[in-house]
Structure 1
């Protein structure tokens, strides 16, 4: 009888632990999505301005573009210590990567041929 009670108690503790970790994971993901949306909204105006000013053979026209998309905030881990963030916009097939730290934009016409 004691064995059955112990097994049931351990099972209930396991279920409660899984429910708690699932709730904490959901709460943290919700907060991170909110933070990401805030950062993307904050960077958007600077990104558009820098992309339109950037010199390139293919001009980037966000305001006059017929097909514009925001790919969003991305990050690339270069090595163990360096992470580079970029905010990507697409206007009429021209990709523009904006570095929010350096406030610099780079333009490319093909997603696969970009730096």
Structure 2
């Protein structure tokens, strides 16, 4: 009988531990989404201005564009020391990657092939 009580107590502790981990993971995910939304809202105006002013053979027209969409904030970590961030906008089929750290826009570029 003592063995059964120990097994039940251990199972209850395991279930409680897994539940606590799930709760904290959910809370952190909510905070991460909130932070991402804040950063995207902060960067949006700068990205639009930089993309419209970027020199390219293909003009980027966010204002007055027929079909515009925000892909959003992306990041690539090519190694353990570097993270490259990009905020991507699409206007009438023309992609523009805005680097919020360098404050530089590249039109028609592929973010994954960037230096």
Note the residue ranges of structure 1 that are not aligned, 5 or more in a row: none
- Is the counterpart of residue 49 in structure 1 residue 64 in structure 2? no
Q: TM-score, normalised by structure 2?
A: 0.94
Corresponding residue number in structure 1 for 2:27: 27
1:72 offset after TM fit, Å?
A: 0.3
Q: How many residues of Structure 1 are paired with residues of Structure 2 in the alignment?
A: 114
Contact 2:74 2:86 survives alignment (8 Å) = yes
Q: TM-score, normalised by structure 1?
A: 0.94
Q: CA RMSD in A?
A: 1.6
1:113 offset after TM fit, Å?
A: 9.3
Q: 4+ residue runs of structure 1 moved beyond 2 angstroms?
A: 111-115
Note the residue ranges of structure 2 that are not aligned, 5 or more in a row: none
